[in-house]
Chains A and B, each alone.
Chain A
């Protein structure tokens, strides 16, 4: 038994692949995920521990298998998890877009009714969240109906957190650290 959803999103498959395999940042965008800890990584295989939000403090381990820019498969290890696999398929679409197809295969078991994480299995919601996360990485961020003066902008770059105030660039440093301008 599977739950499916698909969407065409702006961005190339490489960007979406990077977001899906950036396990340490998944809690930033994936609904109901409180944290992900990378246990091991070798080639296209990753082992990660996922912690869900909520009182139950649900934790489980995922085996993650990647096919660069094409497919990301997450396989829960523990047998009491009613999900057998979560498959993200990526295909380039015209005009710099990407078709993302998401399939969540569920096991036929009583755990579907008893596992506290079951209510979080919402592929359409996960895709909407992914789309929002993709927008953060668009190189030329375009805001609709936003003709006017750019007052303030903050971007995370390789050189750290950078801020532009009325076109003037500043480097942000954590409070307590050395201040630069």
Chain B
């Protein structure tokens, strides 16, 4: 399973809208020659996709969407691949300036293609998809805008615990200094420090 994280400089609603506009994939997904919606029921959509990057491949993909949260896809039919599945999970960026996408992809190209090579290509494909999505959303700003940006990133308001930084105690032997978890003894003459 390949995982890639990318930052998209657009509200979460817009990212979700772009990812679920399956027919529009051919305009921005690198290597996508065609994406045709075969059927759609609720949040489940079956598509016929033709990818043409390293090799021309035709596959039927089923997308299952959880609105503004995630998009799962898996191959239901292909002559070229044994398995193709993955997920896009969306989160609001902590700095409130966009969306963080966790993309996962698993490709089984059969025994003829070494896994390390397939994984390397899949990583590159996911990274390129992230860049392309950023570019696509920059070119086509959606009306959805920030007003419906999905759940706001959480700001926890919790009580802060007191944190000790320094304590100096004058003892009979001199000074005992506690500094960020370490104890140092300073003798009365003031020129000798030892760590117990």
List residues of chain A with CB under 8 Å of any chain B CB: 15, 18, 38-43, 45, 47, 61, 63, 77-79, 132-133, 135-139, 141, 143-158, 161
Contact = CB atoms under 8 A, between A and B. Distances in A.
B163 A40 contact: no
B92 A136 contact: no
B156 to A, nearest CB: 9
Nearest to A139: B162
A135 B179 CA distance: 11
Residue from B159, B163, B180 with most neighbouring chain A CB atoms (10 Å):
B163
B151 A42 contact: yes
A47 B100 contact: yes
Interface residues of B, number: 37
Given A79-B119, A79-B123, A146-B176, A138 B164 contact: yes
Given A18-B161, A141-B178, A40 B100 contact: yes
Contacts of B159: 158
B170 A38 contact: no
A148 B170 contact: yes
Given A136-B181, A148-B172, 12 more contacts: A15-B161, A78-B3, A79-B123, A136-B164, A138-B164, A143-B169, A144-B183, A146-B176, A150-B168, A150-B169, A153-B167, A157-B163
